[in-house]
Chain A
Amino acid sequence: MTTPPPDGLIVVAKADCPTCRLVEPLLAELAAAGPLRVYVQDDSDYADALPDTLYDETLEQSWRLETEFVPTLIRMEQGREVSRTYGWDKSEWRTISGLSGLGEELPAMRPGCGSKTLEPGITERLELAFGDVQLQSREIDVSAEDDAIEACYTRGWSDGLPVVPPTPVRVLRMLKGTTRDPQELVGLMPPDLVPCTVEKVAINAVMAGCKPEYMPVLLAALEAALEDDFGLHGLICTTMFGSPLIMVNGPIAKAIGMNSGNNALGQGNRANATIGRALQLIIRNVGGGRPGEIDRATLGNPGKYSFCFAEAEDSEWLPLAQERGIAAGRSAVTLFPGEGVQGIIDQKSRDPESLARSIAQSLRAVDNVKLAMAGDAVLVVSPEHARIFIEAGWSKQHLRDTLEQLLMAPGEDLLVGAGGIAEGIPARFKDKQVPKFRPGGLLIVRAGGTAGMFSAIIAGWAASGPVGSSPVTREII
């Protein structure tokens, strides 16, 4: 606890501010009329003849008084502020001081200077030192090491790429991106099932390179990943390829500058790159899901560094999140246990029937052409391909229905051993028509640059559905 400022007048000043120097001769007059405390932000002889001038070396008092400019003149009564002005404004100073002849020879007005409390990087330090936020994470002193980034590598906190060292100031700045309490529990983080707080999310977001404004997306993505339907525990530990892919819908994608256009599935956009990476770092650092340890992936996929993009929403096609129950105009994330990207090149189809057949044939490659109802898939349709469907009046649902029809296959072709291939589905499907995907197992999004008659398949985990992982959509609040 700090002692509240005394009743009377308070002036906060800086010696190197010309306006503070301008009003300095008036301070004796104010002190003679009643109690006056002067806080000086820089080391000087400013107003040192007055009885109650204090050097605010730590800036604590200036910060507590929420000083933005110097000079600032404040009147306190019964422990509470009743009036304030800043800079030199003759009539304001006269009103607040009650001295009607104050500063007669001075000009009517002079602007002040910025308070030292608002210099870059200072505000967060003052908040950490004097504010209410109490960060709980263990502090690790790396001053004996040459380079903080190398120190992060040494401790095993990195995915292989450099991380931004999570200093308390950076973490506090990241926490400004959410209204949630730093100590709020987001969930139990698999595979170690340890409590993950908003603060731990923020630390890993700093390391990934996120901006604070990404926090709501990251928190929603983490909460979606932690829903039981998503089966994150098994997804982290599996020998197979998959890992969380984040797809973003709604106005927040544009607001934080996400890429849904050229190279949407590739590198180069900060939000796409760092939101996906932050989720992976949380899995690694908080959950303990490290490759070669409990992450048993045989091959993995490059998306395990980061896999996150936004849908290029088109008024003619229902966005993914709305298909999955989110209201129009709201933002949401959809989590999918994605593998890598398989391109579909079709530069010749000009009608939706041909293009749908072309895409359906390509989708058969998911998992293995002889497997069915194992892994889900995301079909990413580029604008030039989407246009062919949209101009022919095909909705996403129509495309999905058509693909599902085209993907029915005679069971006998897929059986174990059929075609001289041991892999395949059980003999009980011999006389049945077999769908490639389980119901609801084919997701369609529109993304990509406006030139290029390509689409892409992102295959899911071969343990899709209740046995393993189902896609999860969650609104971003």
Chain B
Amino acid sequence: MKRQLPLILLFLFGAFMVFQYFVPHESSEFFYEFVALDWPPIIGVFALSLGIISLIRMSAKRVRTRTPDWGYSVVTLAGLASMIVAGLPWFGGQESPVYKWEFQYIMQSILPTMFALLSFFIASAAYRAFRARSAVASVLLVSAFIVMIRFFPMGPLSIPAASTASWLLNVPNLAAKRAITIGVGLGIVSTALKVVLGIERSYLGRD
């Protein structure tokens, strides 16, 4: 029963979602609302709680045992607490001035900064990776070169550079991406069918 019940539930919900997708009727809407929209957030809340508890326990342990860089854990805990408290409904929720201030002047500054740092790593990686070591690597190098120079103000040369870059994106890139997309799509369908029909059971564990 321990293994059969999850398999039965999975089959029922999987079959329902497939059926519901093709039936845009009001009764179908009602079941969709109940099954698909209400349940996942409930499960998600438990998963989120687990994550938050785990984060607090790990960070608190680091602070308590004074492991190297424990100061970062203090910042983590302080940030977590301040955002949760500021976002509580009694303080105005997401519209509270403190929450908005923290979001605007901390989150909205830190996240783009972290993302922008990638450009330095990309530059370093491009310098090392784009070497004409072989014929294939040379093709990659030339393609990257053309796609990058399409932005350059080169006078009359700008138009052929832009059209060649556009051709590279719309023909060879498109062919490769399409092959990958179709392959991945077929893989998803077959895996989903195997899971719904109970053929693929590895997610149940060994017990």
Q: Determine if chain A interacts with chain B.
A: no
Which residues from chain B sit less than 8 Å from chain A, CB to CB?
none
Which residues from chain A sit less than 8 Å from chain B, CB to CB?
none
